Chains A and B, each alone.
Chain A
Amino acid sequence: MQIEKNAMAGTLESSDAMVTVEPAETGIELEISSSVMNQYGRQIKATVLETLERLEVTSGKVTVVDKGALDCTLKARVECAVFRSCEKSAAGIPWGGVIK
Chain B
Amino acid sequence: MIKRPTPERFRLRRTMMFMNAQKPGLIKDAYIYGCDSIMLDLEDAVAENQKDAARFSLYHALTTIDYGKTEVIVRINGLDTPHWQEDIRVCVAGGADGIRIAKCESAQDVKTVEAAVEAAEKEFGVEVGRTLLMAALESPKGVLNAYEICSASDRMFGVAISGGDFRKCMQTKFDPSGIDMLVARGQMLMAARAAGIQCFDTVFTDLDDNEGFEAEVRQNKAMGFDGKSLINPKQIRLVHEVFAPTEKEVLQAEAMVSAFREAAAQGIGVFTVNGKMVDVAFIPGAERTLKLAKACGMYEGDLV
Contact A95-B52, Cβ < 8 Å, known A13-B23, A73-B24, A90-B86: no
Least CB distance from B185 to A in Å reads 36
Contacts of A16 in B (CB 8 A): 23-25
Give the docked Cα–Cα distance between A95 and B89 (Å): 8
Q: Mark B59-70, 1 if CB is under 8 A from A, else 0.
A: 111011100000
Least CB distance from B256 to A in Å reads 48
Least CB distance from A98 to B in Å reads 12
Q: Are A72 and B55 in contact (CB under 8 A)?
A: no
Q: Mark A83-96, 1 if CB is under 8 A from B, else 0.
A: 11000011111011
Contacts of A69 in B (CB 8 A): 24
Interface residue B124 (Cβ < 8 Å from any Cβ of A): yes
Give the docked Cα–Cα distance between A93 and B61 (Å): 16
Interface residue B33 (Cβ < 8 Å from any Cβ of A): no
Interface residue A80 (Cβ < 8 Å from any Cβ of B): yes
Q: Are B24 and A91 in contact (CB under 8 A)?
A: no
Q: Are B90 and A15 in contact (CB under 8 A)?
A: no
Q: Mark A60-79, 1 if CB is under 8 A from B, else 0.
A: 00000000011111011101
Interface residue B145 (Cβ < 8 Å from any Cβ of A): no
**Which B21-46 residues sit within 8 Å CB-CB of chain A?**
23-25, 28
Interface residue A9 (Cβ < 8 Å from any Cβ of B): yes
Give the docked Cα–Cα distance between A16 and B128 (Å): 35
How many chain A residues have a CB neighbour from B under 8 Å? 27
What residue of chain B has the Cβ atom nearest to residue A73's Cβ?
B24
Give the docked Cα–Cα distance between A21 and B232 (Å): 35
What residue of chain A has the Cβ atom nearest to residue B83's Cβ?
A90
Interface residue A100 (Cβ < 8 Å from any Cβ of B): yes
**Which A3-28 residues sit within 8 Å CB-CB of chain B?**
9-10, 13-16
Q: Are B93 and A76 in contact (CB under 8 A)?
A: no
Q: Which of B25, B85, B90, B94 has the most CB of A within 10 A?
A: B25
**Which A36-80 residues sit within 8 Å CB-CB of chain B?**
69-73, 75-77, 79-80
Q: Are A99 and B59 in contact (CB under 8 A)?
A: yes
Q: Are B93 and A91 in contact (CB under 8 A)?
A: no
Interface residue B174 (Cβ < 8 Å from any Cβ of A): no
Q: Are B25 and A89 in contact (CB under 8 A)?
A: no
Contact A72-B61, Cβ < 8 Å, known A16-B24, A91-B86, A99-B56: yes
Contacts of A99 in B (CB 8 A): 56, 59
**Set A13, A71, A84: member contacting B52, Cβ < 8 A:** A84
Give the docked Cα–Cα distance between A77 and B288 (Å): 44
Give the docked Cα–Cα distance between A73 and B85 (Å): 23
Give the docked Cα–Cα distance between A10 and B86 (Å): 20
Least CB distance from A9 to B in Å reads 5
Contacts of B64 in A (CB 8 A): 70-72
Q: Are B25 and A13 in contact (CB under 8 A)?
A: yes
Contact A14-B56, Cβ < 8 Å, known A91-B85, A95-B89, A96-B124: no
Q: List 13 A-B contacts (CB under 8 A).
A: A72-B61, A73-B24, A76-B56, A76-B57, A76-B60, A89-B52, A90-B51, A90-B82, A91-B85, A93-B55, A93-B86, A95-B90, A96-B93
Using a CB–CB cutoff of 8 Å, the interface residues on chain A facing chain B are 9-10, 13-16, 69-73, 75-77, 79-80, 83-84, 89-93, 95-96, 99-100
Top-4 shortest CB links A-B: A95-B93, A15-B25, A72-B60, A89-B52
Instruction: Beyond the given A16-B23, A73-B57, A76-B56, please list 19 additional residue pairs across the A-B interface where CB-CB is below 8 A.
Output: A9-B53, A10-B53, A15-B25, A15-B28, A69-B24, A70-B24, A72-B64, A73-B24, A73-B60, A77-B53, A77-B56, A83-B52, A90-B82, A93-B56, A95-B59, A95-B124, A96-B124, A99-B59, A100-B63
